[in-house]
Chain A
Amino acid sequence: MSLWNWLALGGAAVVALAAVAQIRRRVTAAAAGRRFFRHPTAAAGLFVLAFVVSLALAAPLVAPYRPFVQIDITRLANHAPSAQFVLGTDPYARDVWSRLVFGARISLGIGAIAMLVAVTIGAGVGAVAGYFRRWVDMTVMRLVDVGLAMPRIFVMLMAVALWEHIALPVLVLLIGLTGWFGTSRLVRAEVLSLREREFVAAARALGAGPGRVIFRHVLPNVAAPIIVSAALGIGNVMLLEAGLSFLGMGVPSPAPSWGNMIADGWPKMAVAPWAATFPGLAISLVVMALNAVGDALRDALDPRKETL
């Protein structure tokens, strides 16, 4: 890694620190914000996330090599970490650090997009079920029960088995489509209780139709479980994508994803453990940060803690 790379790395860290500091300043004005930052892991988690996102965005600056470049397949495959290859090279003589940084774009990107799909569908379905109740609620919730009965990975395996070639965007969409069930239950429960409150009656008395009532009045108040679901959801998607990529069904080589990097490094694990270890460590850290932030959010946004 050259000096510029190191500088860019430092720059990313500084940017991340600054971002967290800014967030902290803005948010601790409210009681919820203070509750959030009372968790020591919350700030650390935010920093890790900000840092990884900065690295991903600044990938060309931080990585000395392009991710697909096989540097010298005869001599530099499975090279141990050194000054030039900070995290070593993988069995295909590619720089692990560069692939890790570019892989962050893909893994995080998939996580975010699939989570958005899942949370949007889940919130929408849950809100509709909770608002309209009776047979709409019943049918939707039976569907949710069925959805929850099939483990996601098996659904994905079935999809891959049945349609031989699944384009990556479709795969991401599928991951999102299989992940909305839990969120819908949470949102439904919230909406069911909120429905009885006066502001809903007031909105309806003013002539607002169900769509408007749901989207303008009820959903904003359901923000808390949705946000927590989202934070934890990204982590789950990243783990699922890593698993699929590891099995060879996710992100196709040579594009780097943290999951398929582990798959690439696996055969040579005894000789060159770094190729598979660092991507796994990266996943663990990011998911850990997401879990910490999600837990702190859940505690901060807990309505029971709202005092006058």
Chain B
Amino acid sequence: MAAWLVRRLAASIAIVFAVATITFLVVHIAHGTPCGPSEARPLAPDVCERQRVRFGYDQPLGVQYVKYLAALSRGDMGESFGLHRPVGDALADAIPNTFALALAALLIDFALGLALGIYQAARARRLGDIALGNVALFVNSMPVFWLGLVLLLVFAQWLRWFPVGGIHNPVLCPRLDSPYCLLDFLWHLTLPALTLGLVAAAGTARYQRAAMLEVIRQDYVRTARAKGLRERRVLLVHALRNALLPFITLCGLAFPFLLTGAVLIETVFAWPGMGRLAVSAILQRDYPVVTGAALVTSTMVVLGSLIADVLYAVADPRIRVRGA
């Protein structure tokens, strides 16, 4: 098991490495210089030359690549053209917000999706299952940002239960420094997290329902009933414990969805996270920020997948303990 872990870790590092390399190549193919063919910022040739030297673009590709990797390992992702600050710093400010959003959405996703999936499997093919199944199908098919707009309209504008956007009350809580401000933060977090979480939960519920139904068919569930156990125990202990294994796999796959959704949700709710940063950077052709965000996101996806795999190996005794 330890050997497997080491190999898996190495594979993850290799993937992140490859993503960084691809990013590097793509950037250099597209924009060899910092003053490319951009009509918006025509620079005088000598200024251009100085920029090139300053950013190190006059050196051979191989050298640039090594410098790039070295810089990355220090957390240096270059300088943002638009913001005039290191990309790393800008991202460091934005990532915790995206992280909070993604985490909250993940919690909603797990709790709601799992509960719904189990409930549907227990009531399979009866009215509750069919009705919920169709609702889940509909919610899972919605564009995430559209749901955000609708929820904003209903709950923030019409009902005024939640704020219309942003991450905090700029007057009362410019910083998170009191319990009141924490509550304020959570209040602002609710709608965006709920939007992402609901759509994700709908998908999880559909998946988990199928996984539970698959497990319920198994012989060992029949054995559990034959032992005289209550149906609730049969479902929630014997069946669920097995159905949690595909659930862990699903969790690993949730990261790409959540991070993609974050980009759109952050735009709708003016949430100052990585996605919003990337989107506004595009409008200024500030590609160091965008590629930096892409790199960080990919790393998070790989990490999520790795954690899921490790959890699965720990949870499944057939993998954790060597067989006969």
Contacts and interface: CB of A to CB of B under 8 A. Distances in A.
A142 B26 contact: no
B153 A270 contact: yes
Contacts of B137: 41, 288, 291-292
Interface string A150-188: 111111011011111000000000000000000000000
A62 to B, nearest CB: 23
B222 interface: no
B291 interface: yes
Interface stretch (B105-113, B223-231, B233-241, B257-265): B257-265
B280 to A, nearest CB: 10
Contacts of B142: 280, 283-284, 287
B267 A157 contact: no
A145 to B, nearest CB: 5
B149 A269 contact: yes
A243 interface: yes
Nearest to B39: A164
Nearest to B18: A146
A280 B282 contact: no
A155 B294 contact: yes
Interface string A252-292: 00000001001000100110010011011001110110111
B274 to A, nearest CB: 10
Nearest to B29: A162
Contacts of B138: 284, 288
Interface in A214-241: 235, 239
Interface in B127-176: 130, 134, 137-138, 140-147, 149-150, 152-153, 157
A133 B18 CA distance: 22
Interface stretch (B64-72, B115-123, B295-303): B295-303
A276 B302 CA distance: 35
Contact of B18 (A142, A152, A259, A273): A142
Interface residues of B, number: 53
A158 B260 contact: no
B143 A283 contact: yes
A206 interface: no
Contacts of B14: 142
Q: Is the interface of B mostly helix, strand, loop or mixed?
A: helix
A228 to B, nearest CB: 14
B272 interface: no
Nearest to A266: B149
Contacts of A162: 26-27, 30-31, 287
5 tightest Cβ-Cβ pairs between the two chains A and B: A280-B146, A162-B30, A287-B141, A288-B141, A154-B294
Contact of B145 (A41, A163, A262): A262
A246 interface: yes
A154 B287 contact: no
B245 interface: no
Contacts of A235: 141
A20 interface: no
Nearest to B38: A164
Given A149-B298, A283-B143, 5 more contacts: A154-B263, A157-B279, A161-B286, A239-B143, A280-B147
A247 interface: yes
A273 B146 CA distance: 11
A146 B15 contact: yes
Given A151-B260, A273-B153, A164 B146 contact: no
A154 B152 contact: no
Interface string B270-290: 000000001101110111001
B215 interface: no
Contact of A262 (B149, B290, B291): B149
A60 B153 CA distance: 33
Interface in B1-57: 11, 14-16, 18-19, 22-23, 26-27, 30-31, 38
B157 A270 contact: yes
A249 interface: yes
A167 B285 CA distance: 17
B203 to A, nearest CB: 10
A118 interface: no
A302 to B, nearest CB: 12
B294 A243 contact: no
Contacts of A287: 141-142
Interface in A54-108: none
29 contacts: A142-B15, A149-B302, A150-B298, A151-B259, A151-B297, A151-B298, A154-B263, A154-B297, A157-B282, A158-B294, A160-B282, A161-B281, A161-B285, A164-B38, A242-B143, A242-B145, A243-B264, A246-B143, A262-B143, A266-B149, A276-B146, A280-B147, A280-B150, A283-B141, A284-B141, A284-B142, A287-B141, A287-B142, A288-B137
Contacts of B287: 158, 161-162
